[in-house]
């Protein structure tokens, strides 16, 4: 869901949720923010809220953001094969989950 070059540096701050928040909490925060920033009155704020929710509702993109704080639209394989991933993430069991989905 790449809508352009707009990037969110901290989607948790945009939605005002804890990084350990569950899916239901993230969705509730998203709906609260939509009421606060309707698209016809605050298009820029609405876009920030929408992009933050798009990033956090997808488990794969959320994991990428948590582990690497990188562009969530980058191919996951390019991150997993890098030295950074081996150094900080290691070959954990989550790697097998993403390799299976190919």
The pTM assigned to this predicted structure is 0.62
pLDDT digits (tens, 9 = 90+) for 77-89: 555 555 545 555 5
23 and 17 Cβ atoms separated by less than 8 Å:
no
Cβ-Cβ contacts under 8 Å for 39 (sequence gap 6 or more): 46
Domains, in order of start, for the chain: 1-57 (1.10.287.110), 59-102 (no CATH)
Residue 75 has pLDDT above 90, yes or no: no
pLDDT digits (tens, 9 = 90+) for 7-66: 677 899 999 999 888 899 999 999 999 999 999 999 999 999 999 999 999 888 888 888
């Amino acid at each position: 869901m790449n809508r352009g070059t707009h990037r969110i540096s901290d989607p948790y701050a945009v939605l005002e949720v804890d990084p350990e928040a569950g899916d239901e909490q993230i969705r509730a925060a998203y709906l609260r923010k939509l009421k606060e920033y309707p698209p016809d009155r605050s298009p820029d704020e609405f876009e920030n809220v929408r992009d933050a929710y798009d990033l956090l509702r997808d488990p794969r993109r959320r994991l990428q953001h948590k582990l690497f704080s990188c562009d969530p639209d980058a191919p996951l394989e390019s991150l997993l094969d890098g030295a950074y991933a081996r150094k900080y993430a290691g070959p954990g069991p989550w790697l097998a989950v993403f390799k299976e989905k190919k």
